[in-house]
Amino acid sequence: MEEQVKLFLKYLNYQKGYSENTIINYENDIKEFLEFLNKENIDNLKEVNYSIVRFYLMDLYNKKFSRNSVSRKLSSLRSFFKYLHNEEIVKINPFSLISSPKKEKKLPKFLYNEDIEKIFNVPNTKTVLGKRDSLILELLYDTGVRVGELVNIKINDINFDDKSIKILGKGNKERIVLYGTYAEIALKEYLNNGRNELLKGKNNEYLILNANGNNITTRGIRLIIDKIIKQACLNTHISPHTLRHTFATHLLENGSDLLTVKELLGHSSLSSTQIYTHVTNERLRNIYLKSHPRARK
């Protein structure tokens, strides 16, 4: 079974163009299901049927997984068994018979301006790594790119004249993102006075490098952000994706239309972007309730 999992993960990487982080999620979901099968003394994927899938679903709910987590796990396994069916390894895809639970509506977390200022003041831009970390923050917030997209930016993807970057997003879809004056300053400072020191004579086409002069990983970015958040003394969990949420929220709050935000984020459908209208509407409601004399007793 492990060999079939490896082949499927290669398929996701080379055929579907999925990001490293997405493939890791698929792998974890599938391995978790294989562990369940092992406990049930099932050692052949051909034996998996509707009843076993239902039993697994009950097991997930008994372990108190959220509906969103269950939905993601089912989606991963549905794709895995679809691949196995197409490769004629199994006769049916039992997960196609199971409907995913209705997703919980969870508003994305975003940062207020004062918190943005706090974290942006953390990197010591007198050091090489500080210049790099400052650029990471600027690009995540200025462009709204995903972490997996950020680590794959190459120098020749950047158009310095019109301050734009070509991004290879999910499903190998290309889009153009824009960056502003602050990111431009951070980018020039990093390229002119930092990146070559990190390279140490090596050749590397990628923009963001680690301390050894190699292109940085998504995990490396997350560790940097975690460290910055601790130094900024923010008492909340913030991930690199929070900066993407903040990018979208702040654009809408300042008058951008939804279609523009959709294109900049690289969403395939408008429904994915509409969640941010709930965020901005909720914030407006809170401001109204606090500020208007007739809104409260």
What is the tens place of the pLDDT at every residue in 185-244?
999 999 999 999 999 888 999 999 999 999 999 999 999 999 999 999 887 778 888 898
Mark whether 121 and 209 lie in a shared domain. Answer: yes
Residue 248 belongs to some domain of the structure: no
Residue 170 belongs to some domain of the structure: yes
Active site residue 146: yes
pTM for this prediction = 0.63
Average pLDDT (3-21) is 88
Split into its structural domains, the chain has a count of 2
Options 170, 175, 222, 283, the catalytic residue? 170
Mark whether 59 and 120 lie in a shared domain. Answer: no
- Checking if the pLDDT of 50 tops 70, the result is yes
- Checking if the pLDDT of 264 tops 60, the result is yes
Active site residue 267: yes
From residue 180, give the alpha-carbon distance in Å to each of 116, 149, 158, 176, 187: 16, 18, 13, 14, 10
Active site residue 294: no
How many helices and strands in the chain, by DSSP H and E?
14, 3
Residue 257 belongs to some domain of the structure: no
CA dihedral 110, 115, 117, 123 (to 10 degrees): -100
Options 146, 195, 245, 250, the catalytic residue? 146
Q: What is the pLDDT of residue 295?
A: 61
Options 78, 245, 250, 267, the catalytic residue? 267
Active site residue 250: no
Active site residue 206: no
Q: What is the pLDDT of residue 255?
A: 79
Mark whether 47 and 87 lie in a shared domain. Answer: yes
Q: What is the pLDDT of residue 105?
A: 64
The pLDDT-based confidence of 275 (bands split at 50, 70, 90) is confident
Helix (H, G, I), strand (E, B) or coil at 75: helix
Active site residue 83: no
CATH number at residue 10: 1.10.150.130
Structure tokens at 217: 């990983």
Q: What percent of the chain has pLDDT over 90?
A: 48
Mark whether 222 and 131 lie in a shared domain. Answer: yes
Cβ pair 84, 4 in contact under 8 A: yes
Options 244, 245, 250, 262, the catalytic residue? 244
- Chain position carrying tokens 């020191």: 197
Cβ pair 75, 100 in contact under 8 A: yes
Residues 6+ apart with CB under 8 A from 130: 123, 124
**Structural domain that includes position 123:** 113-239
- Checking if the pLDDT of 282 tops 90, the result is no
pLDDT digits (tens, 9 = 90+) for 141-193: 999 999 999 999 999 999 999 999 999 888 788 999 999 999 999 999 999 99
Residue 158, H or E segment? strand 158-159
- Residues 5, 8: Cα–Cα separation, whole Å: 5
**How many C-beta atoms lie closer than 10 Å to residue 106's C-beta?**
9
Instruction: Tell me the CA end-to-end span of the chain in Å, nearest whole number.
Output: 64
